[in-house]
Structure 1
Amino acid sequence: MKRHFLRTLAALALGALCTGARAQAKLDKVTIAGWGGPISEITNLLVEPDKGFFRAQGIDMVFMPGTGGGDAVRNLLSGQADVAFTDPGSLYAALDKGEKLRVIYDIYPQNIFNVVALKSSGITKPADLKGKKIGVYSLSSGTLTNLQLLLNQAGLSEKDVTIVVTGLLNFAPLMQGQVDAAAATDTGLLVARARGVGEVNVMEVRNSLNVSSDIFVVREETYQQKKDVLRRFLAAYRDSAQWMIAQPQEAAALAVKRAINGQNEAVNLEVIKLRNASSVSPLTQKNGLGAIDVDMLQKGAEAWKKIGLIQRELKMKDVVSQDLLPRK
């Protein structure tokens, strides 16, 4: 009888331990609404099954593809995602409508957008774009808002050009003569050159205003209610970004199996190097990856208002929070 009692007690204790272990192993799900698909430039996210950066922080990370930064914000606001991987222009547009959002991490503090034309077109500067057809990824993409910024610096507006939605592979229409110029990113241009776009003239948006390309944005209620989860999420993301900076060759090899456009390892490596370069700035070198330049985001908001893309005066210091960032 006594022996049976001890066995029962031991079984109960073991069951309690197993239940506790399962509870401890439970991961907090965080869904990222992306601006695009699972492409090589975000290899640090795609390698989660291989590297487990997020699992190590107790996070079950899910990536939700999108068709532009505006799409990422919409997926965030609808509750389908917890974090938006989006551009400042899409953030400004949402804030302009009265949405309550927080910026918690600067993914790419360097502006990566450009407008590209074939040398044979004679288009060498933004002013030459007047009356031309220009391809953009989508109407909710950072390619459009950054094109508008570039046009404004030349005294032009969207009304002075014809916008053509061409998708992510928008250099094909440029090469085929369907558009006169293509609004793209540095990695998009790299892939186009690898595919034979030929000699081109490149107009860099950062020469006008070096506002960040992409940031992590959350709803205000998420920021207030899930700070511990978000801290662990950002720690995991920074770990993944630091890994890709330190091990670009390994990242390029893994992108072959993880990225939908990653078939060419050599091209992957060049894309990853570009994205690594856009992840750092003098501020991040001082304060660590993800550090947010509030003043530059403010200049961006003022530029967007000047262009007429937003109507309200935004105070970015009220929506930027750096308290969740991991220590350097």
Structure 2
Amino acid sequence: MSVSRFLGVLFGAIALATTPHLAQAEDTLRLAVGAPNNWDTSIPEIGQRAGIFAKHGLKLDILYTQGGGETMQAVISGSVDIGIAAGTQAVMGAFAKGAPVRILAAGTTGAGDLYWYVPADSPIKSFKDTNGKTAGFSTVGASTHIALLALIKHFGTTTKAVATGAGAVTLTQVMSGQIDVGWASPPFGLQQLQDGKIRLIARGNDAPSMVNQTVRVHIVNANALKQRADVMKRFMAAYRESYEFLYTDPRGVRVFSEYSKVPEALAVQIRDTFMPKAVMSPEKVSGTDAIMADAVTFKTLAAPLSQQQLSELIQIPPKP
């Protein structure tokens, strides 16, 4: 071998050895994500499209679900490693019963992105008019379920909560008269609102108890967390970087627009009106005492978790 060729091979080997993750195959993580195309669940998809997860040596295999309840069950069963946007109360309840689930990151604090609507010609003018009526939520244990129960409690109505599945399926049920009130989260339904086909009658934060609670969390199978601790730390590093990219880089809105198939102007409206940056911070599960009190009221928890239990449940890796 010539000297020049030898040096080329040597320097190439050194470059590979000193470049993180490029010298090895990407680690694959299976994700269950509730409500496709929504802003609050988009960060893994946005980060993957932007090449951020690949930079951290990760490939995401994303499965979309009908809502937080299905997402949590997929994580508990071990069919996926991580679940995006599961209802916090339901996660606490499952953990208290011994389910192998841990909180890897905070998802959404407050429920201002969730809203309930009726057809434009409905006699229902406000949530107070829903006595004896049916109102939809996605799946049992999802944040839509908890927020709806909180609205019913706050307004003191006899509304019947009905699991209706994802936003598109719910809209069909509302417009065909199968249920009286539907639920949605941006971008879904905004065009129908603008066109005057439906009317908004309540948002999740109309129930004051929801405003400061982290209503959705990102969860991980406990066994996967134990066995693949380094991979989960890299996931969180990539997630944090993707979160910053979505909010601080102009390309973030553009990538979301392409992913969700909504105009960029509407994506900006969703961000600024429904999902400001602080709401999506992954760093802290806020309002745990209030979350547990509501969970006991709604019979999701038999009793509040102890501080020791909370420390075991919440496993957010610290920022470097």
TM-score tier, shorter chain, comes to 0.7 to 0.9
**Which residue of 2 is the match for residue 78 of structure 1?**
77
Of 303, 307, 327, the match for 2:298 = 307
1: distance between equivalents of 2:222 and 2:157? 36
1: distance between equivalents of 2:163 and 2:81? 31
1: distance between equivalents of 2:13 and 2:45? 36
Q: What's the offset of the Cα at 1:39?
A: 4.6
**Which residue of 2 is the match for residue 193 of structure 1?**
193
SS of structure 2 residue aligned to 1:99? coil
Q: Please, what TM-score do these two structures have when normalized by structure 1?
A: 0.77
Q: What's the offset of the Cα at 1:299?
A: 1.5
2: distance between equivalents of 1:13 and 1:264? 50
SS of structure 1 residue aligned to 2:252? helix
- Return closer, same or farther for 1:101/1:199 CA change in 2, 3 Å cut-off: closer
More displaced stretch, 50-59 vs 312-321: 312-321
**Which residue of 2 is the match for residue 90 of structure 1?**
90
2:136 is aligned with 1:143:
no
Would the aligned equivalents of 2:96 and 2:305 in 1 still touch at CA under 8 Å?
Answer: yes
Report Cα offsets for 1:11-70 as digits up to 9, x if no partner: 997998799688833222222211123555544322345421111122222222111111
Would the aligned equivalents of 1:28 and 1:59 in 2 still touch at CA under 8 Å?
Answer: yes
- Return closer, same or farther for 1:213/1:191 CA change in 2, 3 Å cut-off: farther
**Structure 2 unaligned spans of 5+:** none
Report Cα offsets for 1:268-301 as digits up to 9, x if no partner: 3323445641x415xx8xxxx322135x133212
**Which residue of 1 is the match for residue 225 of structure 2?**
223
SS of structure 1 residue aligned to 2:210? coil
**Which residue of 2 is the match for residue 325 of structure 1?**
318
Report Cα offsets for 1:229-268 as digits up to 9, x if no partner: 2121111111111111113x53343334433xx1434333
- Return closer, same or farther for 1:184/1:43 CA change in 2, 3 Å cut-off: closer
SS of structure 2 residue aligned to 1:229? helix
- Return closer, same or farther for 1:319/1:299 CA change in 2, 3 Å cut-off: farther
Would the aligned equivalents of 1:104 and 1:325 in 2 still touch at CA under 8 Å?
Answer: no
SS of structure 2 residue aligned to 1:214? strand
**Which residue of 1 is the match for residue 132 of structure 2?**
131
Q: What's the offset of the Cα at 1:172?
A: 4.6
- Return closer, same or farther for 1:323/1:163 CA change in 2, 3 Å cut-off: closer
Greater gyration radius: 1
Superposition RMSD on alpha carbons, in Å? 3.5
More displaced stretch, 61-70 vs 175-184: 175-184
SS of structure 2 residue aligned to 1:180? coil
Q: Give the aligned residue type for 1:280.
A: A
**Structure 1 unaligned spans of 5+:** none
Report Cα offsets for 1:78-124 as digits up to 9, x if no partner: 21211111121331332243213221211222323333346753442
SS of structure 2 residue aligned to 1:24? coil
- Return closer, same or farther for 1:184/1:60 CA change in 2, 3 Å cut-off: same
Would the aligned equivalents of 2:53 and 2:59 in 1 still touch at CA under 8 Å?
Answer: yes
SS of structure 2 residue aligned to 1:76? helix
Would the aligned equivalents of 1:235 and 1:325 in 2 still touch at CA under 8 Å?
Answer: no
More displaced stretch, 296-305 vs 63-72: 296-305
**Which residue of 2 is the match for residue 291 of structure 1?**
283
Q: Give the aligned residue type for 1:59.
A: L
Q: Give the aligned residue type for 2:285.
A: D
Q: Give the aligned residue type for 1:68.
A: G
- Return closer, same or farther for 1:14/1:256 CA change in 2, 3 Å cut-off: same
2:53 is aligned with 1:54:
yes
2: distance between equivalents of 1:290 and 1:161? 33
**Which residue of 2 is the match for residue 208 of structure 1?**
209
- Return closer, same or farther for 1:56/1:274 CA change in 2, 3 Å cut-off: farther
Q: Which has the higher helix share?
A: 1
Q: Give the aligned residue type for 2:73.
A: R
Report Cα offsets for 1:173-200 as digits up to 9, x if no partner: 4355443222333544534424533543
Identity of aligned residues (%): 16
**Which residue of 2 is the match for residue 241 of structure 1?**
243
